Amino acid sequence: MIKVKVPATSANLGPGFDTLGLALNLYNTFSFKEIPKGLEIEGCDNYYANEKNLVYTSMLKTFNKIGYETKGIRIEMDTDIPISRGLGSSAACILGGVMGANELAKASLSKDEILEIATEIEGHPDNIAPALFGGLVVSVMEDKNIYYNKIDIASEIKFVALIPDFTLSTTKSREVLPSTFNNKDAIYNIGRVSLLLSALSNGRFDLLKISLRDKVHQPYRKKLIPKVDEILNKCYELGSLGVYLSGAGPTIMAIVKKDDMNFTKRIKDYLNSINYNWNVKELDLDLSGAI
């Protein structure tokens, strides 16, 4: 049996729309075994336990790429990454399937080849790259080629994910975005993402509040999340260094000092007081990526 463990990811980080992503220590684990025939899936909702399962379809596409045929597959899942919450659940499933297929077929695909196949399935690498390599990764595509770079982050911070009990599909969250942006907003985001990368690398956490601001996607996606501005303001009031929408949302990600022992409890108490069901998770950067 082959076992693949894939971390959650948080993409965009405010101004880094479709280019930035980081891996967090929340995981989906997939176990794979070849069987005489058919498909067996355990550990997920019955709605997903069929031939349309994203892990399974990703395996089949990988088998097709490498020219491998299998009679049957058994997949066991242990999934802690919530679905459609902006924490890279789709990327984790895709990467799990690609890596599982590679191991079962003994194909010896390189990480770059795995990245290419998984990105082809996902459509963009902003979640795939950090899930595969760990840490903070910048990734872009040009002429169907993927270019990426892993960036070290100063270690004095942790991440607090505010995960609501409702979902928000990436498709829906993209539908609210404008098709074009003006020159002023483009320059605004270029400056903020540049400042963000330097602040995270050098430990200038006093710059995070300014550098996480964005005019490309967050102003539009925030409208899909009830009371989001109140929650963002409360995070800052309680001592957060920076706050942003994780991926397409609806998860809100707060960055706090690692030695801050009060923020998580206080933001939980606040969210309970406004009668919203939010799961609050304190997370650290995953530096290893999928294994």
pLDDT in tens, 24-82: 999 999 999 999 999 999 999 888 999 999 999 999 999 999 999 998 999 999 999 99
Is pLDDT at 143 greater than 80 in this prediction? yes
pLDDT band (50, 70, 90) for residue 276: confident
Q: What is the pLDDT of residues 249-267, one digit of tens each?
A: 999 999 999 999 999 999 9
The amino acid at residue 152 is D
Q: What is the rounded average pLDDT of the residues 142-167?
A: 95
pTM of the model: 0.95
- Position 288 scores a pLDDT of 97
What is the four-CA torsion angle of 37, 43, 47, 48, rounded to 10 degrees? -60
> Buried b / exposed e across 70-103, counting CB within 10 Å, b at 16+?
eeebebbbebebbebbbbbbbbbbbbbbbbbbbe
Same CATH topology for 2-151 and 157-283?
Answer: no
Strand partners, 280: 162
Is pLDDT at 275 greater than 90 in this prediction? no
At the topology level, CATH places domain 157-283 in Alpha-Beta Plaits (3.30.70)
- Position 173 scores a pLDDT of 84
Q: What is the mean pLDDT of the chain?
A: 95
Tell whether residue 163 is among the known ligand binding residues: no
Q: What is the rounded average pLDDT of the residues 157-169?
A: 93
Tell whether residue 115 is among the known ligand binding residues: no
Q: What is the rounded average pLDDT of the residues 202-216?
A: 97
Nearest CA among 225, 228, 226, 193 for reference residue 212: 193
Q: How far apart are CA 268 and CA 280, in angstroms?
A: 7
At the topology level, CATH places domain 2-151 in Ribosomal Protein S5; domain 2 (3.30.230)
Tell whether residue 186 is among the known ligand binding residues: no
Tell whether residue 73 is among the known ligand binding residues: no
Tell whether residue 90 is among the known ligand binding residues: yes
Q: How far apart are CA 19 and CA 192, in angstroms?
A: 13
- Position 123 scores a pLDDT of 94
Rama region for 268: left / alpha / beta (φ>0; ψ in -120 to 50; rest): alpha
- Position 203 scores a pLDDT of 96
Tell whether residue 247 is among the known ligand binding residues: no
Q: What is the rounded average pLDDT of the residues 147-173?
A: 92
CA 56 to chain centroid: 20
Is pLDDT at 289 greater than 80 in this prediction? yes
Tell whether residue 273 is among the known ligand binding residues: no
Q: What is the rounded average pLDDT of the residues 138-150?
A: 96
Q: What is the rounded average pLDDT of the residues 156-185?
A: 91
Tell whether residue 31 is among the known ligand binding residues: no
Is pLDDT at 171 greater than 90 in this prediction? no
Residue ranges of domains in the chain: 2-151, 157-283
Q: Strand 278-283 to strand 157-164: parallel, antiparallel, or no bridges (unpaired)? A: antiparallel
Q: How far apart are CA 73 and CA 2, in angstroms?
A: 11
pLDDT band (50, 70, 90) for residue 105: very high
Longest dimension (CA), the chain: 60
Q: Strand 252-257 to strand 278-283: parallel, antiparallel, or no bridges (unpaired)? A: unpaired
- Position 167 scores a pLDDT of 85
CA count, 13 A, side-chain hemisphere, 48: 16
Tokens standing for residue 133: 């390599």
Tell whether residue 226 is among the known ligand binding residues: no
Residues sharing a CB contact under 8 Å with residue 280, sequence separation 6 or more, in sequence order: 160, 161, 162, 163, 264, 267, 268, 271
